[in-house]
């Protein structure tokens, strides 16, 4: 855990908050009254700016009708491209390489349909056993569309401990039978941050297109996708980017692939100058915009306008710095105080290998999560034994972490979790 000292006093947490350069952003959010929200890696909180930008789009619909596409403060026709440009610094890309569109899984289908080209013995897709199920479902279905059996053609790198992956083993699986690679940037259960530049370099040397799912890293961790020569990436925006439930997602396509015909074509991927020519010959945009499919969901996109303004002001480097300090502070509590109650850390402890959340492992995780909710702490449970706690840099304070730990200690001392059924809810 390093050589730094651990100070368990509340006054120390309050001092950290007083010296926090991002502390002012906390006032931008609607914080649940009387509760400590540590589930921002599942659904971020609503900000006043996101609410305002949503109301602006609704007002444009009310006042302008069809003319909202080309008039008003935020014309809709090219909003996805403008938001892509605002989002590009968060992933380390040129503005033209990013587009706000679709959902994570729809965008993943688009990317696989575009980049997966099985030929000869190169027919396999490489993934991992710890990836989010929706990504695996998409890969399996894409293989079936090619008439291939996922049991044979989907290779999943195993995990030695059930929580983390070894980059050496991933690279060893990049054989001459692999036609495409998809990996998470941060593992959703344990919070492990993979070495993206190393993996991208290994794939490039072997001539294999590689993409990443950034759902658990965008908005919490800086990226350099263009510099690392990643081929593509997909992500949601409702976690650390706080766009709201089901908020419109995003994707990245490296500019070296511009001009490539999208695997799934739709009219919003058209060259903007030709989209309304209504020709039956598709002329794709020469940017990531080509990979849009249908008309953008404006009401699910609008909150990003206000949210991304805050990210531009805060800066992703400062966000990452605070996130690491928050998770380090929480891990110190886990090591010094919570371990005696049977808790173990499931996430890597090194800064370079850790995402934006802490994974506490406990055999009673499901019941402890229920008890925490009743004590006013909002955690996240992942079967079978992981409590995910995400102190989010823009709205979580060090005092929040301090208080959450005190409530957790009380639950464990009193064993109040034993009152609850050992069964997760429908939505965990």
Determine whether the annotation assigns residue 105 to a binding site. yes
Clarify whether 132 is annotated catalytic.
yes
Determine whether the annotation assigns residue 238 to a binding site. yes
Contact 228, 196 (CB under 8 A): yes
Round to whole Å and give the CA distance between 170 and 157.
6
* Candidates 20, 128, 213, 380; catalytic one: 213
Tokens of 428: 């965990």
| Phi, psi at 182, each rounded to 5° | -130, 125
Determine whether the annotation assigns residue 135 to a binding site. yes
Dihedral in degrees, nearest 10, Cα atoms 99, 104, 109, 112: 70
| Phi, psi at 172, each rounded to 5° | -60, -25
Determine whether the annotation assigns residue 128 to a binding site. no
Contact 225, 93 (CB under 8 A): yes
Task: Using the Cα atoms of residue 175, residue 130, residue 213 and residue 391 in order, give the sign of their dihedral.
Answer: negative
What is the Cα 29 distance to its own chain's centre?
Answer: 19
* Candidates 29, 188, 212, 238; catalytic one: 238
Determine whether the annotation assigns residue 133 to a binding site. yes
* Candidates 49, 388, 400, 417; catalytic one: 388
Determine whether the annotation assigns residue 116 to a binding site. no
Determine whether the annotation assigns residue 217 to a binding site. no
Determine whether the annotation assigns residue 134 to a binding site. yes
- Sole residue written with tokens 């370099």: 201
Determine whether the annotation assigns residue 61 to a binding site. no
Q: DSSP state, 61?
A: H
Determine whether the annotation assigns residue 63 to a binding site. no
Angstrom CA distances, 186 to 61, 189, 221, 248, 360, stand at: 38, 9, 10, 20, 16
Clarify whether 238 is annotated catalytic.
yes
Clarify whether 239 is annotated catalytic.
yes
Determine whether the annotation assigns residue 357 to a binding site. no
* Candidates 239, 320, 354, 382; catalytic one: 239
What is the Cα 279 distance to its own chain's centre?
Answer: 37
* Candidates 132, 258, 341, 420; catalytic one: 132
Binding site per annotation, positions: 104-105, 132-135, 213, 216, 238, 267, 295
Binding site per annotation, positions for pyridoxal 5'-phosphate: 104-105, 132-135, 213, 216, 238, 267, 295
- Residues designated catalytic: 132, 213, 238-239, 388
């Amino acid at each position: 855990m390093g050589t730094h000292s651990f100070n368990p006093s509340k006054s120390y947490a309050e001092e950290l908050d007083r010296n926090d350069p991002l502390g002012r952003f906390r006032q931008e959010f609607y914080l649940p009254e009387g509760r400590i929200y540590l589930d921002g890696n599942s659904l971020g909180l609503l900000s006043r700016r996101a609410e305002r930008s949503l109301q602006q789009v609704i007002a444009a619909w009310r006042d302008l009708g069809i003319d909202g596409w080309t008039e008003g403060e935020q014309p809709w026709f090219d909003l996805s491209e403008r938001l892509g440009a605002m989002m590009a610094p968060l992933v380390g890309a040129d503005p033209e390489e990013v587009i706000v569109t679709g959902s994570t899984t729809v965008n993943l289908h688009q990317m696989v349909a575009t980049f997966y080209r099985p030929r000869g013995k190169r027919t396999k897709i490489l993934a991992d056993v710890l990836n989010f199920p929706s990504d695996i479902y998409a890969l399996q279905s894409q293989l079936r569309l090619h008439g291939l059996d996922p049991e044979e053609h989907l290779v999943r790198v195993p995990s030695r401990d059930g929580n983390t992956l070894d980059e050496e083993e991933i690279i060893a699986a990049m054989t001459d039978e692999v036609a495409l690679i998809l990996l998470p940037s941060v593992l959703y259960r344990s919070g492990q941050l993979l070495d993206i530049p190393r993996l991208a370099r290994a794939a490039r040397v072997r001539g294999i297109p590689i993409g990443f799912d950034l759902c658990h890293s965008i908005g919490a961790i800086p990226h350099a996708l263009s510099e690392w020569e990643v081929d593509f990436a997909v992500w949601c925006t409702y976690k650390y980017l706080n766009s709201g439930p089901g908020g419109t997602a995003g994707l990245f396509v490296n500019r070296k692939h511009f001009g490539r015909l999208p695997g799934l074509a739709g009219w919003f991927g058209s060259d903007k100058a030709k989209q309304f020519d209504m020709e039956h010959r598709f002329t794709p945009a020469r940017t990531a915009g080509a990979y849009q499919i249908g008309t953008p969901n404006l009401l699910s996109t609008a909150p990003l306008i206000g949210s991304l303004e805050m990210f531009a002001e805060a800066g992703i480097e400062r966000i990452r710095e605070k996130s690491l300090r928050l998770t380090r502070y929480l891990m110190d509590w886990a090591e010094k105080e919570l371990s005696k109650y049977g808790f173990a850390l499931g996430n890597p402890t090194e800064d370079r290998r850790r995402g934006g959340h802490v994974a506490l492992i406990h055999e009673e995780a499901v019941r402890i999560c229920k008890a925490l909710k009743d004590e006013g702490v909002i955690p996240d449970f992942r079967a079978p034994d992981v409590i995910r706690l995400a102190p989010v840099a823009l709205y979580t304070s060090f005092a929040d972490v301090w208080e959450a730990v005190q409530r957790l200690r009380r639950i464990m001392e009193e064993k109040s979790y034993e009152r609850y059924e050992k069964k997760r809810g429908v939505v965990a």
